[in-house]
Amino acid sequence: MAALNRTDAEERAREWVTGAAPGAEPVLHEFDLGWVISARYPVTSPDRLGVPSMVLDRESGALVVGGTLPPESIAEWYARGFRPPPQPEPAGPVPRQFPATMSRLTVADRSWVARSRRSDTDRIVHPIVSTFFEAMPATYAERGAVRSAEAAVFSEFFLAEEVARHEAGRPPLALADARELVRGARLETFRITEDADPSSGTIVRSSLPVLLFLDFLGLSPEAAATGD
């Protein structure tokens, strides 16, 4: 198919916003590879749960979930083929690392590990993960859940899959793909403290937001080790 132009993009944006966010207007941020499409509600509209922005690829016409980052950040991430940015060397003393948690995600016969993050700038979070936690109703939300080890390990797993798909010329990961990938997965989370602390290495029970995230991915709460 021919590459999309601005008129095509505006039409696709209107179609998507009409279906995904009735009452909102489309806002387009153009970059080299396409457009980031966001839905903006009128200021007079009652508070509504926002929807994640989408990326419209200029060449393929594909709509890809971009997440809840600012449009400029989504564009940069998409241009990197969903690869995280290089991590700079610390300019000063390394912040205190403990206490923390580490999660191990086992899918089939492979495992991924990640530790909890101490700030929102540690690593980019995959849109499937960030969109869920940032859109969670306040009734269930817990501060820092998106920086938990459980969220981090799923994010790293999905990011690795994005890189593999990009290198193989396959489309980016959709939610249905993610749910299929983690079918039968096992999640374990461990406490990390100073070596002298006897609780270091013990299993930590996952929080309610994490259990809801497992359900969102089609996994039962039993997929997470409880330490009981």
The answer to whether position 63 is within a domain reads: yes
Domain shared by 107 and 169, yes or no: yes
The answer to whether position 62 is within a domain reads: yes
Q: Please give the residue range of the domain that contains residue 151.
A: 100-223
Say how many domains are in the chain.
Answer: 2
- From 80, 108, 124, the end of a domain falls on 80
Q: Is 26 helix (H, G, I), strand (E, B) or coil?
A: strand
Q: Give me the pLDDT at residue 85, please.
A: 54
The answer to whether position 92 is within a domain reads: no
Domain shared by 192 and 105, yes or no: yes
Average confidence score pLDDT of the chain: 81
pLDDT band at 96 (very low <50, low <70, confident <90, very high): very low
The answer to whether position 56 is within a domain reads: yes
Domain shared by 113 and 218, yes or no: yes
Residue 13: which residues within 8 A CB-CB, separation 6 or more?
26, 28, 35, 37, 56
Order the strands of the 25-31 sheet from edge to edge.
25-31, 34-40, 53-57, 63-67
Write the pLDDT tens digit of every residue in 143-178.
Answer: 888 889 999 999 989 988 888 888 888 888 889 999
Residue 115: which residues within 8 A CB-CB, separation 6 or more?
100, 101, 102, 103, 149, 152, 192
State yes or no: pLDDT of 23 exceeds 90: no
Provide Rg for the chain, Cα atoms: 19
Predicted TM-score (pTM) of this structure: 0.58
Domain shared by 125 and 64, yes or no: no
Domain shared by 206 and 140, yes or no: yes
CB-neighbour burial class of residue 154 (10 A; exposed 0-12, middle 13-18, buried 19+)? buried
The answer to whether position 90 is within a domain reads: no
